[in-house]
A and B are shown apart, each in its own frame.
Chain A
Amino acid sequence: MIGREVLAFAWGSLWAARTRSALTVSAMAIGVAAVVMLTWLGESARAFVADQFAAIGVHLVVVLPGRQETVGGMPPILSEIPRDLTIDDALALRKSPSVRRVAPLAFGTAPISYGGKERECPILGSTHEMLAIRHLTLAQGAFLEGVDPHRGAGLCVVGSKVREELFGTGSAIGRFVRIGDRRFRLVGVLAPMGTSLGINIDETVMIAVADALQLFNRASLFRILIQARSADTLASCEADVLAILKQRHGGEEDVTVIRQDAITSTFDRIFVALTLAVAGIAAISLVVAGILVMNVMVVSVTQRTAEVGLLKALGARARDIRAVFLVEAALLSLLGAVLGVAVGKGVQQLATEFYPALHGDLPVYAVAAAVGTALLSGVVFGVVPAQRAARLDPVLALARR
């Protein structure tokens, strides 16, 4: 028989047993939909985390005071006291040609008050370069421009929520606020940007780094944020930073340098592994569906013994019979796969409607893998029944009625 005729014939017999066919198709569809949707959820989560990291800036290198060993084992009971990470350390990093921007960072919390209203805020002390490194945008005013890192400026920039709570609808620029026991002139308001990596920028207040160190009475910076010139210079930037700081700290490697891409890629790997694991578990249901296809085909061959005998009497070759039953099995799987992808797509569109954070389309590789596995399991499990049908003895097959 020719392909088209085999297809029509196989379709005819599936249609004749449509309840049974539909049930098998749905089993396959559930399997395919599960694989596709779980992979998509995993990919969404990965994309979400990647976006979070991208939001804090690009080509970032972060310096933390103190050496943090990540070799496992018991943490030291008395941690060595690290040398201070100073503003001069931060400024010295500008020497490296790989470094584009440097922002020293001091951190603490303090009450900010204006006109009888007061709230506790995270306070970030930094320089003008912070704006570009962290991709912050200003709604109004300026961001600590031209402030000497070594000297206090008495200026502050507030997040959008802080501004709203302290000033309501009134104007804020130029007002004096009190942070801790000092007076600061408000020179800028940040545009709303929400939470990134656990810190809500809208609720923070930014002041000059020297002011912050005085305010919190600290000698050491909390972090130094460095932006490398490009993704390619990240490695040399990291090396330069380590080398410069080691030299400045008397040959002691007492800082920790973290590259943003290292964190991102770690998270990436974790999410890829999780996605594959979950999709792999879902793929088991495809094999189960494949066994169901086999079961249905075995029943079909048994019920159609006389038909197979007749086809043989009419001159069908073993390969014609095999083709008919294999195509039936493949059709069941293919229909299941198509239905499964359609269901997955539907659920994905519905879900993104309600949870826009779940962005992205169904991953093409997952759709391809699910459909491929479905077809493969259907055909592989279809071989045995098809073979059984092709080998039927026509005399015995026709004798049954």
Chain B
Amino acid sequence: MIELVAIERTFAVGDQVVRALDGVTLTIAPGEYVSIMGPSGSGKSTLLNVLGLLDRPTAGHYLLEGRDTTTMTEDDLARARRERIGFVFQFFHLVPRLTAAQNVELPMLLAERAPAERKRRVDELLGAMSLSPRAHHRPDQLSGGQRQRVAIARATALEPAMLLADEPTGNLDRASSHDIVDLLEKLNGKGLTLIVVTHDPNLGERARRKIRMADGKIVGDVR
């Protein structure tokens, strides 16, 4: 359950104040499939960062599963990111020196899981993504689609409640895009809340709930 109440996020650029988010109020129920669309600078990335606890709102309240995140400590926020939220990025953000398996293992390392458990889970995830033969390849030896699948495996390693995808297909060809969207929707089908930020109308239209943003405000919310 995500509840945003009158969220403001302002940036000082020189002597100007930019309102990236301007009074955003939004409730997302568990298991929803939401797309956030809008032109560049409309505040959709900032909204995603706030939702992902990477950015703190300047004003307003963000209740994640009933807890007010605006009063949480940095360590609590890190814990929430680790255990409740999975990120999928346009540029994959895999650590180049680590193999696919090691990249998938990272969140479990940070969560201090036992080595045996980590290994079992990595095998399971890579198997589910049909990446087992590529487990010991480094990112530069993988195709774009494969990299994004590794990233998704990593994002879901600790079974988070929601998946935040920022242009997940922005850097992929059509076939890989189709694969990745399929994969994300399958995860959503298993109950994972899926929030996708995209420019791509084809991707945005697939969501059951479509939110449009402009100038830091929600201007459309269609189910």
Contact = CB atoms under 8 A, between A and B. Distances in A.
Interface in A1-24: 1-2, 5, 9, 12-13, 15-16
Nearest to A317: B78
24 contacts: A1-B109, A1-B112, A12-B97, A12-B98, A13-B97, A15-B97, A310-B93, A312-B78, A313-B52, A313-B54, A314-B81, A314-B82, A314-B87, A314-B110, A315-B78, A315-B82, A315-B111, A316-B82, A317-B75, A317-B78, A318-B74, A318-B78, A398-B93, A401-B91
Given A1-B110, A5-B109, A398-B54, A314 B97 contact: no
B55 interface: yes
A299 to B, nearest CB: 16
Interface in A303-317: 306-307, 309-317
A315 B83 contact: yes
Nearest to B157: A314
B163 to A, nearest CB: 12
Contact of B95 (A2, A310, A398, A401): A310
Nearest to A399: B45
A307 B94 CA distance: 8
Contacts of A317: 74-75, 78-79
A138 B55 CA distance: 91
Given A2-B112, A16-B97, A398-B93, A313 B87 contact: yes
Interface of B: 49, 52, 54-55, 74-75, 78-83, 87, 89, 91, 93, 95-98, 106-107, 109-112, 154
A308 to B, nearest CB: 10
Contacts of A193: none
- Counting chain A CB atoms within 10 Å of each CB, which of B55, B81, B110 scores highest? B110
Given A394-B54, A395-B49, A395-B55, A316 B95 contact: no
A239 B89 CA distance: 89
Contacts of B78: 312, 315-318
Best-buried of A13, A312, A318 by chain B (most CB within 10 Å): A312
Contacts, number: 62
Nearest to B83: A315
Question: Quick one: which of B55, B91, B106, B154 has the most chain A CB within 10 A?
Answer: B106
A320 interface: yes
A306 B95 CA distance: 9
Contacts of B97: 12-13, 15-16
B81 A307 contact: no
Given A314-B81, A314-B107, A398-B93, 8 more contacts: A16-B97, A314-B82, A314-B106, A314-B110, A314-B154, A395-B54, A395-B55, A398-B54
Contacts of A401: 91
A105 B78 CA distance: 86
A313 B81 contact: yes
Interface string A267-309: 0000000000000000000000000000000000000001101
A325 to B, nearest CB: 15
A391 B106 CA distance: 20
Counting chain B CB atoms within 10 Å of each CB, the highest count among A2, A309, A394 belongs to: A394
A112 to B, nearest CB: 81
A45 B81 CA distance: 63
A316 B110 contact: yes
Interface string A361-401: 00000000000000000000000000000000011001001
Contacts of A309: 93
Nearest to A400: B91
B95 A307 contact: yes
Contacts of A307: 95
Contacts of B82: 314-316
B41 to A, nearest CB: 14
Contacts of B110: 1, 311, 314-316, 320
Contacts of B81: 312-315
**Which of A1, A9, A306, A313 has the largest number of chain B CB atoms within 10 A?**
A313
A315 to B, nearest CB: 2
A140 to B, nearest CB: 77
A314 B74 CA distance: 13
A270 B79 CA distance: 60
Nearest to B151: A310
Contacts of B98: 12
A300 to B, nearest CB: 12
Contacts of A314: 81-82, 87, 106-107, 110, 154
Closest 8 CB pairs of A and B: A315-B82, A16-B97, A315-B81, A317-B78, A394-B54, A310-B93, A314-B107, A313-B87
A315 B86 CA distance: 10
Interface in A244-270: none
Contacts of B79: 315, 317
A15 B102 CA distance: 15
Nearest to B102: A12
B90 to A, nearest CB: 9
Nearest to B105: A5
Contacts of B96: 16
Contacts of A2: 112
A74 B62 CA distance: 89
A4 to B, nearest CB: 9
Interface string A6-47: 000100110110000000000000000000000000000000
Nearest to B82: A315
Contacts of A313: 52, 54, 81, 87, 93
B195 to A, nearest CB: 14
Contacts of B75: 317
